[in-house]
């Protein structure tokens, strides 16, 4: 029996922390609480999703999970901080498509495509391009014809520069060849933008189905691979003549660890994530909040994330960001 | 709306509903009074606890926290010269001098009654005319917002005690601090000097707490006396009698109106309304000469307006599903969690829920009066602790609150730096209120002007053409600036 069990335990912890212990056993993982960092304020949609996700995730991991918030800089403050953290599997970030693939390509940030070990995707809502219900445009063709007839007259809005809402409109108008004929008006968040839409200041806006249903709006096209169940008459972007990769745009989010996470830990986390997404609790939450859950395991999410990174590079280029 | 009243009251008068109302309001007052915990953080803190509650009690709890925290900010503003929330920054200007004079209880009494009246009137307006007012608010686009913010900036003139030059410098500094971080139109980062943490800009709360609370502590420590070293005597709240309101009612109604209108409009909030209302009172009150030295009219103007904003902000939130500020945005998220889709059909699809929310909001504002008195009793022993401990307590609470907002340790550095900067500036006679006005209004000023210029294709000359509301506000701005000159030279 060792005389200094505390000391040995302490040394063992230090050596693990320094990365000196050779094989970390996944069976021991997690031995302390896993922290999920939400890069936005408490009370936002990402925060609420993760707080509903955490208990199911903890159960599947057979450990404790805590959710913390670190807001600022459109989510980049948290991502920049976590990117240089130790990849021990105890600190994960819930990054959206914007935080992980768009912001690092438009700002000078201390993280990029290779800063992460993708764990799993949790949610993915397709985006739509829509107009006011009182708008004269009933189809995307009518809108394009009007834009061509009066270049520079029409304005599309966004919830801010470099957001998914801007890229949705950019994907549509760039894919249809009229991007230079429309103007962009950013707002501070989607609330003011929707008000601008209702007031007629802007004529086009792109966002998820949930947001669109909050107002009196008419969808023109959807950026998904198939038509949406609730909106069977709305054509997909592909049907409207928009070529890949601009024809699909999802507001997705998933868990990331700093790059270099051991494969066994990654797989344990990814498996638990899958179980959490499938859990009745989270399914019920998604039903109530109309969140579109979409699980991908570590390998599939890694491929998806990298494909998105380069596809969004084209969008960012088109947007002139 | 009114015919649903009995049913709505039935929905509220459940054990859960009553606890939400009373406990929520009291907790809101406490959280608002703690320096650094603003209304948004207070509401977000409570949100997880509402998940297991019924729809109506959940929303009522958040509303109670909201209204309570807006009022609670005035308590610390008056007693320790530290606005508990930025909305109460204008309350310090006359509330603290009153407290120093030994009238802390009276100052709180004025603040409480003004808050209750402001909140109650805004609740009535909400119940009677939310859809109509929301439709009006839609006319308020970026160009109108820009004109309103210009009018708001004239407040810097009214709160510049002593030296106008120094006030304007402090205001400009506030405007500049607001530009650091991300460009709102292009998304590029600017003025960060390569320092990564600055990418998110300076947090308003961290700066407000720094320049008010931390600098106050430094001033007291240095013994450098701006007359504030005397400790405040406070033995509970003293409500003003009805006859003492004589001659103050027209000022009160003006403040309530200002708060209501600004609450309904998008893009601005309680802090803006409190400053505009304070400036208007200072211009028109018969006792304007005593403003800044502990004049109750100043406290009334600030507190009636910031509480009137709460009901106003609910107008676009409930009628259009468009949040009026960050707090109401969290409320809409809560509705979503309870399976109610916020949006323009919210009132039509859930009339009973909305009636219960509106009625509950009215009751919450009534409760502010007894609960404010109760909180005054609870808080008074705190002020008898030795000053040294008090200073430590203020610093600790401020740091906790500031860290809590974004979970970013950098905000603590910002708070400390703002405290030291504020200390040095105050020693040189620079007022801090203009700096806060600059920081509050700066982002909206820039955003609305640049949005307006996108709409007019970059033309300043045609910015206001076809925008009569904006032109009206512009005329008011010119009037506000020229009246003191005319008065001076007559």
Per residue in A265-310, pLDDT (tens digit) is: 999 999 999 999 999 999 999 988 888 999 999 999 999 999 999 9
* Residue B33 lies in domain: 2-489
Q: How many other CB atoms are there within 10 angstroms of residue B401's CB atom? A: 25
Alpha-carbon torsion (B185, B190, B192, B196), positive or negative: positive
Q: How far is B336 from chain A (nearest CA, A)?
A: 5
Question: Region A74-87: what's the mean pLDDT?
Answer: 91
pLDDT of residue B408: 83
Question: Region A49-77: what's the mean pLDDT?
Answer: 91
In whole angstroms, how far apart are CA B82 and each of A169, B178, B210, B398, B444? 45, 21, 10, 10, 25
Does residue B456 contact residue B256 with C-beta atoms inside 8 Å? Answer: no
Out of A152, A215, A321, closest to residue B344 by CB: A215
Are B48 and A51 inside 8 Å of each other by CB? yes
Q: How many other CB atoms are there within 10 angstroms of residue B345's CB atom? A: 14
Q: From CA B216, how far away is CA B228, in angstroms rounded?
A: 9
| Chain B residues in contact with A105 (beta carbon < 8 A) | none
Are B266 and A44 inside 8 Å of each other by CB? no
User: What digits encode the pLDDT tens for the residues A168-200?
Assistant: 999 999 999 999 999 999 998 888 888 889 889
Best probe of the A interface among B181, B317, B343, by most A CBs < 10 A, is B343
3-class DSSP assignment, residue B65:
helix
| Chain A residues in contact with B330 (beta carbon < 8 A) | 43
Alpha-carbon torsion (A256, A260, A266, A267), positive or negative: positive
Domains of chain A: 29-124+250-319 (3.40.190.150), 126-222 (3.40.190.10)
User: What digits encode the pLDDT tens for the residues A136-173?
Assistant: 999 999 999 999 999 999 999 998 888 899 999 999 99
pLDDT of residue A3: 43
Q: How far is B187 from chain A (nearest CA, A)?
A: 5
**ipTM for the whole complex:** 0.84
| Chain B residues in contact with A162 (beta carbon < 8 A) | 187
Question: Region A247-273: what's the mean pLDDT?
Answer: 95
Q: How far is B310 from chain A (nearest CA, A)?
A: 17
User: What digits encode the pLDDT tens for the residues B342-392?
Assistant: 778 888 888 999 999 999 999 999 999 999 999 999 888 887 888 888 888
| Chain B residues in contact with A93 (beta carbon < 8 A) | none
User: What digits encode the pLDDT tens for the residues B215-228?
Assistant: 988 988 887 554 44
Count of structural domains within chain B: 1
Tracing tokens 């069990």 back to the chain, one arrives at A5
Q: How far is A246 from chain B (nearest CA, A)?
A: 22
Tracing tokens 């038509």 back to the chain, one arrives at A227
Q: Which residue of B has its CA nearest to A109?
A: B196
Helices (H), B154-248: 155-159, 164-179, 204-209, 215-222
Out of B44, B141, B339, closest to residue A288 by CB: B339
Best probe of the A interface among B182, B316, B469, by most A CBs < 10 A, is B182
User: What digits encode the pLDDT tens for the residues A1-15?
Assistant: 344 444 444 444 444
pLDDT of residue B380: 84
pLDDT at A20 over 60: no
Q: How far is B226 from chain A (nearest CA, A)?
A: 36
| Chain A residues in contact with B406 (beta carbon < 8 A) | 41, 69-72, 77
Q: Any idea how long chain B is? A: 490
Instruction: Return the closest-CA partner of residue A173 out of A201, A203, A198, A199.
Output: A203
| Chain B residues in contact with A109 (beta carbon < 8 A) | 196, 199
| Chain B residues in contact with A44 (beta carbon < 8 A) | 333
Which two three-digit tokens encode residue B144?
């109108």
What are the respective helix, strand and coil percentages of chain B, to the nearest 5? 75, 0, 25
Does residue B166 contact residue B431 with C-beta atoms inside 8 Å? Answer: yes
Q: How many other CB atoms are there within 10 angstroms of residue A306's CB atom? A: 14
pLDDT of residue A17: 42
Q: From CA A64, how far away is CA A34, in angstroms rounded?
A: 6
Are A70 and B330 inside 8 Å of each other by CB? no
Are A161 and B187 inside 8 Å of each other by CB? yes
Q: From CA B111, how far away is CA B96, in angstroms rounded?
A: 12
| Chain B residues in contact with A152 (beta carbon < 8 A) | 457
Q: Which residues of chain B have pLDDT under 50?
A: 226-229
Best probe of the A interface among B52, B313, B322, B466, by most A CBs < 10 A, is B322
pLDDT of residue A26: 54
Predicted model pTM: 0.86
Best probe of the B interface among A37, A38, A42, by most B CBs < 10 A, is A42
Q: How far is B318 from chain A (nearest CA, A)?
A: 12
Q: Which residue of B has its CA nearest to A75?
A: B200
Are B455 and A155 inside 8 Å of each other by CB? yes
Out of B41, B48, B343, closest to residue A215 by CB: B343
Does residue B61 contact residue B338 with C-beta atoms inside 8 Å? Answer: no
pLDDT band, very low/low/confident/very high, at A18 (cuts 50, 70, 90): very low
- Cβ pairs bridging A and B (under 8 Å): 140
Does residue A208 contact residue A251 with C-beta atoms inside 8 Å? Answer: yes
| Chain A residues in contact with B183 (beta carbon < 8 A) | 161
Which two three-digit tokens encode residue B121?
């009137």
Best probe of the A interface among B327, B334, B406, by most A CBs < 10 A, is B406
Mean pLDDT of chain B: 89
Q: How far is A78 from chain B (nearest CA, A)?
A: 9
Q: How far is B384 from chain A (nearest CA, A)?
A: 35
Q: How far is A104 from chain B (nearest CA, A)?
A: 12
pLDDT of residue B36: 76
Tracing tokens 């999920």 back to the chain, one arrives at A36
pLDDT of residue A184: 95
Does residue A130 contact residue A138 with C-beta atoms inside 8 Å? Answer: no
Are B196 and A216 inside 8 Å of each other by CB? no
Q: Which residue of A has its CA nearest to B266?
A: A192
Are B141 and A48 inside 8 Å of each other by CB? no
pLDDT of residue A6: 44
Q: How far is A191 from chain B (nearest CA, A)?
A: 5
DSSP, res B291: T
Are B330 and A289 inside 8 Å of each other by CB? no
| Chain A residues in contact with B320 (beta carbon < 8 A) | 195, 198, 215
């Amino acid at each position: 029996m060792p005389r200094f069990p505390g000391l040995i335990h302490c040394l063992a912890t230090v050596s693990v922390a320094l990365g000196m212990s050779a094989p970390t056993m996944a069976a021991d993982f997690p031995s302390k609480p896993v922290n999920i960092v939400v890069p936005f304020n408490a009370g936002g949609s990402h925060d609420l999703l993760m707080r509903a996700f955490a208990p199911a995730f903890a159960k599947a991991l057979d450990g404790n999970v805590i959710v913390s918030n670190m807001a600022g800089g459109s989510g980049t403050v948290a991502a920049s901080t976590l990117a240089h953290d130790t990849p021990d599997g105890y600190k994960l970030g819930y990054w959206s498509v914007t935080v992980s693939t768009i912001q690092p390509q438009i700002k000078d940030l201390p993280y990029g495509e290779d800063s992460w070990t993708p764990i799993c995707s949790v949610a993915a809502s397709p985006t739509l391009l829509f107009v006011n219900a009182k708008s004269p445009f009933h189809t995307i063709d009518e809108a394009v014809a009007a834009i061509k007839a009066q270049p520079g007259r029409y304005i599309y809005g966004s919830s801010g520069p470099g957001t998914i809402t801007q890229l949705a409109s950019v994907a549509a108008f760039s894919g249809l060849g009229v991007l230079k004929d429309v103007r962009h008006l950013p707002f501070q968040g989607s609330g003011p933008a929707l008000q601008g839409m209702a007031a007629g200041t802007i004529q086009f806006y792109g966002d998820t189905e949930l947001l669109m249903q909050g107002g009196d709006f008419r969808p023109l096209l959807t950026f998904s691979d198939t038509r949406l169940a609730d909106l069977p008459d709305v054509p997909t972007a592909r049907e409207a003549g928009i070529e890949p990769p601009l024809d699909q745009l999802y507001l997705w989010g998933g868990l990331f660890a700093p790059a270099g996470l051991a494969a066994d830990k990654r797989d344990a986390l990814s498996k638990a994530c899958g179980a959490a997404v499938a859990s009745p609790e989270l399914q019920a939450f998604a039903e109530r909040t109309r969140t579109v859950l979409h699980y991908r395991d570590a390998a599939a999410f890694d491929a998806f994330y990298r494909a998105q990174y380069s596809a969004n590079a084209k969008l960012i280029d088109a947007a002139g960001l | 709306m009114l015919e649903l009243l009995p049913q709505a009251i039935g929905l509220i008068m459940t054990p859960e509903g009553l606890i939400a109302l009373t406990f929520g309001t009291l907790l809101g007052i406490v959280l608002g009074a703690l320096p650094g915990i603003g209304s948004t953080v207070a509401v977000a803190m409570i949100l997880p606890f509402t998940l297991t509650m019924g729809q109506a009690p959940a929303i009522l709890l958040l509303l109670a926290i909201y209204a309570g925290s807006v009022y609670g900010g005035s308590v610390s503003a008056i007693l320790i010269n530290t606005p508990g929330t930025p909305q109460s920054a204008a309350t310090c200007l006359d509330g603290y001098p009153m407290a120093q004079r030994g009238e802390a209880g009276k100052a709180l009494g004025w603040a409480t009654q003004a808050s209750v009246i402001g909140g109650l009137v805004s609740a009535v307006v909400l119940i009677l005319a939310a859809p109509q007012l929301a439709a009006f608010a839609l006319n308020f686009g970026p160009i109108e917002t820009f004109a309103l913010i210009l009018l708001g900036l004239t407040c810097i003139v009214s709160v510049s005690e002593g030296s106008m030059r120094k006030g304007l410098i402090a205001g400009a500094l506030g405007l500049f601090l607001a530009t650091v971080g991300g460009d709102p139109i292009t998304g590029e980062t600017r003025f960060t000097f390569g320092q990564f943490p600055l990418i998110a800009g300076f947090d308003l709360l961290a700066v407000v707490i720094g320049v008010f609370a931390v600098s106050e502590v430094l001033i007291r420590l240095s013994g450098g006396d701006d007359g504030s070293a005397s400790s405040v005597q406070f033995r509970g709240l003293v409500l003003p009698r009805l006859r003492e309101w004589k001659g103050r009612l027209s000022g009160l109604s003006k403040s309530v109106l200002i708060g209501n209108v600004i609450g309904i409009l998008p893009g601005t909030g309680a802090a803006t309304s409190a400053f505009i209302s304070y400036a208007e009172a200072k211009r028109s009150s018969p006792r304007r000469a005593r403003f800044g030295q502990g004049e109750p009219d100043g406290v009334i103007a600030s507190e009636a307006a910031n509480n009137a904003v709460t009901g106003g902000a609910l107008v676009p939130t409930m009628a259009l599903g468009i949040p009026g500020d960050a707090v109401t945005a969290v409320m809409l998220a809560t509705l979503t969690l309870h399976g109610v889709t916020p949006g323009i059909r919210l009132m039509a699809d859930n009339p009973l829920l909305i009636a219960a929310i509106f009625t509950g909001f009215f009751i919450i504002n009534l409760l502010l009066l007894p609960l404010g008195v109760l909180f005054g009793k609870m808080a008074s022993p705190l002020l008898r602790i030795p000053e040294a401990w008090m200073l430590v307590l203020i610093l600790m609470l401020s740091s906790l609150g500031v860290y809590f907002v974004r979970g970013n340790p950098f905000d603590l550095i910002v708070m400390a730096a703002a405290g030291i900067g504020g200390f040095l500036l105050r020693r040189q006679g620079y007022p801090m209120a203009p700096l806060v006005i600059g920081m509050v209004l700066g982002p909206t000023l820039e955003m609305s002007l640049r949005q307006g210029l996108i709409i007019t294709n970059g033309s300043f000359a045609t910015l206001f053409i076809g925008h009569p509301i904006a032109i009206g506000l512009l005329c008011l701005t010119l009037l506000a600036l020229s009246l003191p000159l005319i008065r001076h030279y007559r």
